[in-house]
Structure 1
Amino acid sequence: MEAAVTGGLPCRWVAGDEAYGGDPNLAAALRGHHLGYVLAVACSHHVPTGIGVQRADQIAADLPKQAWQRLSAGDGAKGHRYYDWAFITLPLAVDQHAGHHWLLIRRNRTADELAFYRCWSPRLVPLPQLVSVAGSRWRIEESFQSAKTGLGLDQHQHRRWRAWHRWTTLVIAAHAFLAAATTVSTTTAEGMTAITANELRRLFHALIIEPARRTANLIAWSIFRRRHQATARNSHYARQALGGGSRSRRESSN
């Protein structure tokens, strides 16, 4: 993190799972760099409040019904990823960095499962912005999964750091190339999803590395798959819109 900030990486927010949310030194360092964060914490995480230190799950249990708001954490494969959200303003941390602290709570609308986040921002922000940052982890995790399954990010089998570093750098560069290449075409045919990094990788492998079939057949299969994906996506969104206030289906990305 220090190297990224010193190097001038443009960044305003940091998101992370419980492994990072449980590290108070990381949170203090982020505040020192004036970087807002939304870091997941365990249900047993102790939170300082105006009436003393409490467990995160106890705070959630005491919230009134009107404290919860239904908000989308972003678009998913089966429609908007709707959850119930609530946040509680917390007192300043012991390091006294200026800014605003919150405990953000996410509730699954079908299973009533809870997730908790410690949040901080150098300026006051509304709940939807914290929800948006929390939801951004889904896309980040999707990118890591794509790099693992499609490009072998976790298949290095190296014992030394230098070899691992070279392998990881090459895989990330390849993934960045695919991601950048998907933005070259700004138009998408009606009734088809936009081409993704995974789809581009499949086409590149089939057309360049192992050209086992005719080019026309591969392109036709790619178009068919993207049209099928678009039909399924539109169906999910339409069904979700018709459902109105009813509880949405549980997302696989919980």
Structure 2
Amino acid sequence: MAAAYRVDAQRWSELFSELMDTIEARFARPESRRRVRDFVAGLLAPLPVKNCWTIAEHAGDDGPGGMQDLIGRASWDDALVRADVRDFVAARLGHPDGVLLVDETGDLKKGNQTVGVQRQYSGTAGKIENCQLAVHLSYASPLGHSLVDVALYLPKSWTDDPQRRVEAGVPDTVTFATKPQLAGRLIETAVAGGLPCRWVAGDEAYGGDPQLAAALRGHRLGYVLAVACSHRVPTCLGVQRADQIAVGLPKQAWQRISAGVGAKGYRYYDWAFIALPQAADQHQGHHWLLIRRNRTTGEQAFYRCWSPELVALHHLVAVAGRRWSIEESFQATKTGLGLDQHQHRRWKAWHRWTTLVIAAHAFLAAATTASAETSEGLIAITVNELRRRFHALIINPARRVADAIAWSIYRRQHQATAKSSHYARQALTEP
């Protein structure tokens, strides 16, 4: 088993270097090229909190200024780096039946100065909170899955406020866009960039938008998009609610099919689908209403589906099941890579932090696929386990005692300066 680990570690190191060599080419200055590699390595490290301070200490820098400069001031284009990550994912995980997954996630924040923040519903929190929302694009194939792109959702309270835009560095070209519109742009960019894909999947926020569905048909991309139970579809008996159609289905219309492999076994549900020829438009193709029923509770979920060619029910079910992988990606990037731990208020810094987290996640996804571990009695290596092993075997350098002492002194000096400033400010107004 130890021999297998050594082989895997060497392969992981090669993959990491391959990705970082490509990304580093986007940076003109050698200092930035070195720092971006150290920054991604810091994101992969098991640090209790991830920010420019902790990442700089992990890299052995003498202060956080270099990492802060990389995220806030250095000259580089985060969109081009995400394009490099997309190409890396296409080369390592690409498959003709690839699925593009769209979903948003929220980062809870305090105050009102962080770009995009306002009180809004967050699925992460399950309620209305003060947070940022971002639409993410993930790629899933039989080889694995990874985040590949992102778009920050900017509410009208931001797009319509010139002062807030200037303070947060929001580009003049950025205007208000709904989440489905942001998702459509991400998908269009991925298709134009050559990411091999056949399907798109998303939740009700995207399935309820007819413009997004039409755009996908225009790209000849099949889709399985969740819709509300009240969603109305055209049938030979007129326009009907999705839940009304489900009530009238005979027992033989339902088939028990697994939506994929879960931690505790196959995810079996009862499924039915109904052809919707009345929904045909200029894009031709085939429309369906897909219905999922929980075997225990009877709870139902509904999906609008389209494909340029006829497909069997189990194909649509497989695409619907793929949607859950983006939740796994959110969990992995938040718990292990610091996706939501950024402390940056401005537009550019937020996109740069998020882009480098996406790059770290793409490396882990590719490395798990390349892992040669086949020992009996072990599950396939997970992203979280690979991250821990990669740090222990490849990243973690021999640390000098002097480095730890120097950082302790640096932090305490910074805290002493801040304390003095707070007391001096208070003395101006308090007796």
Q: TM-score, normalised by structure 1?
A: 0.79
CA separation of 1:34 and 1:92: change in aligned 2, threshold 3 A: farther
2:200/2:222 contact within 8 Å kept: yes
Change (3 A) 1:166 1:148: same
Between the aligned partners of 1:109 and 1:102, the Cα distance in structure 2 is 22
Which structure is richer in relative contact order (CA contacts within 8 A, separation 6 or more)?
A: 2
Q: Which residue of 1 aligns with 2:252?
A: 66
Distance 1:181 1:94, change over 3 A: closer
Q: Any unmatched runs of 5+ in structure 2?
A: 1-186, 400-431
**In structure 1, which of residues 106, 129, 139 is the aligned counterpart of residue 292 of structure 2?**
106
Match of 1:186 in 2: 372
Residue 124 of structure 1 aligns to a residue whose secondary structure is: coil
Structure 2 residue matching 1:144: 3-state secondary structure: helix
How far apart in 2 are the matches of 1:185 and 1:10? 23
Match of 1:22 in 2: 208
How far did 1:64 drift? 0.7
1:119 pairs with one of 305, 313, 317: 305
Identity of aligned residues (%): 80
Q: Is residue 107–residue 114 contact of structure 1 (8 Å, CA) maintained in 2?
A: yes
1:193: Cα distance to partner?
A: 0.9
Query: Any idea what SS the aligned residue of 2:304 has?
Result: strand
- Does residue 195 of structure 2 align to residue 9 of structure 1? yes
1:92–1:100 contact (8 Å) kept in structure 2: no
Change (3 A) 1:206 1:186: closer
Contact residue 342 and residue 353 of structure 2 kept, 8 A:
yes
Q: Which residue of 2 aligns with 1:33?
A: 219
| 1:28-66: CA deviation from partner (whole Å, max 9, x where unpaired) | 000011000000001111111111111111111111111
Residue equivalent to 2:427: none
Matched, 1:149 2:149: no
- Does 2:315 align with 1:129? yes
CA contact (8 A) 1:83 1:107 kept: yes
Kept after mapping to 2: 8 A contact 1:28/1:95: no
* CA separation of 1:103 and 1:211: change in aligned 2, threshold 3 A: farther
Contact 2:236 2:278 in 1 (8 A): no
What secondary structure, in the 3-state scheme, does the structure 2 residue paired with 1:149 have? helix
Q: CA offsets, 1:165-208, max 9 Å, x none?
A: 11111001111111222233323110111111101122344564
Instruction: Quote how far apart the aligned CAs of 1:153 are.
Output: 1.3
Aligned with residue 78 of structure 1, among 251, 261, 264: 264
Conserved? CA contact 1:69–1:85, under 8 Å: yes
CA distance in 2, matches of 1:30, 1:77: 32
Query: Which string of whole-angstrom CA distances, capped at 9 and with x for unpartnered residues, describes residues 92-112 of structure 1?
Result: 436431100000000000010
Q: How does 1:47-62 map to 2 (within 5 A)?
A: 47-62=233-248
CA radius of gyration, larger in: 2
Contact 2:225 2:304 in 1 (8 A): yes
Matched residue count: 212
Q: Could you say what secondary structure the match of 2:223 adopts?
A: strand
Q: Distance in 1 between matches of 2:194 and 2:386?
A: 31
Distance 1:19 1:169, change over 3 A: same
Over 3 Å counting, the alpha-carbon distance change for 1:200 and 1:92 in structure 2 is same
User: Is 1:21–1:40's contact at 8 Å kept on the other side of the alignment?
Assistant: yes
Does the aligned pair in 2 maintain the 1:21–1:39 contact within 8 Å?
yes
Provide the residue aligned with 1:234 in structure 2.
Answer: none
2:230 alignment counterpart: 44
Segments of 4+ in structure 1 off by > 3 A? 92-95, 204-212
Residue 161 (structure 1) aligned with residue 347 (structure 2): yes
Deviation readout 1:88-136 (Å, 9 max, x if unpaired): 0002436431100000000000010100000000000000000000000
How far did residue 160 of structure 1 move? 2.2
CA distance in 2 between partners of 1:181 and 1:3 (Å): 25
Paired residue for 1:201? 387
